[in-house]
Amino acid sequence: MICSSRTLLIGSGLAMLLAAQNTLAAPKHDNAGKHGSGHNGEAGIHLQGPSIDIGRVRIILGDNRHLIGPTSSLPPGIAKNLARGKPLPPGIAKNFDNRLLGQLPRYDGYEWKQIGTNVVLVAIATGVIYEVLRNVLD
């Protein structure tokens, strides 16, 4: 009887530990469609930064096409390297007209850049891409 009580006690203890594990584990967040969720095949990139109102940015860009310089598609090799969490490829980013920048949302420590038909939000200090709006300037 002692052996079966001990087995029961150990089994109960293990069941309690397994049940508590979910409570004590780091919280999991539903990030579907949000930054750091691994969209565009970028599993494991979790960038801390501002929450971007992409819809508003798209509207501002559309309403101010006359302030945007000529655009062209990027070469495939550069386009492939244009991704969240990667450094901004050197020498290809263009600054926007100040009149347009004054209308785009501002985020401390970040700046908007034009790269071909794409718009990116880049961390000023590191040059790492925080957000890519692909083909919004087509």
Per the domain annotation, does 110 fall within a domain?
yes
Range with the lowest mean pLDDT among 29-33, 38-42, 102-106, 109-113? 29-33
Using pLDDT thresholds of 50, 70 and 90, give the confidence band for residue 69. confident
CA distance 9 to 13: 6
Per the domain annotation, does 9 fall within a domain?
no
| Span 7-27, pLDDT tens digits | 555 555 545 444 444 333 333
User: Any idea what the CATH number is for the domain that residue 44 is in?
Assistant: 3.10.450.160
| Tally of domains within the chain | 1
Per the domain annotation, does 46 fall within a domain?
yes
Per the domain annotation, does 104 fall within a domain?
yes
Q: Find all residues with CB under 8 Å of 49, minimum gap 6, and list them.
A: 35, 107, 110, 123, 130
Q: What is the pLDDT of residue 121?
A: 97
Give CB contacts under 8 A, 24+ apart, made by 90-98. 92/116, 93/120, 93/122, 94/69, 96/67, 96/68, 97/67, 97/68, 97/69
Q: Is the pTM of this model over 0.95?
A: no
> Is residue 83 over pLDDT 90?
yes
Per the domain annotation, does 58 fall within a domain?
yes
Structural domain range at position 76: 32-133
CA distance 135 to 72: 10
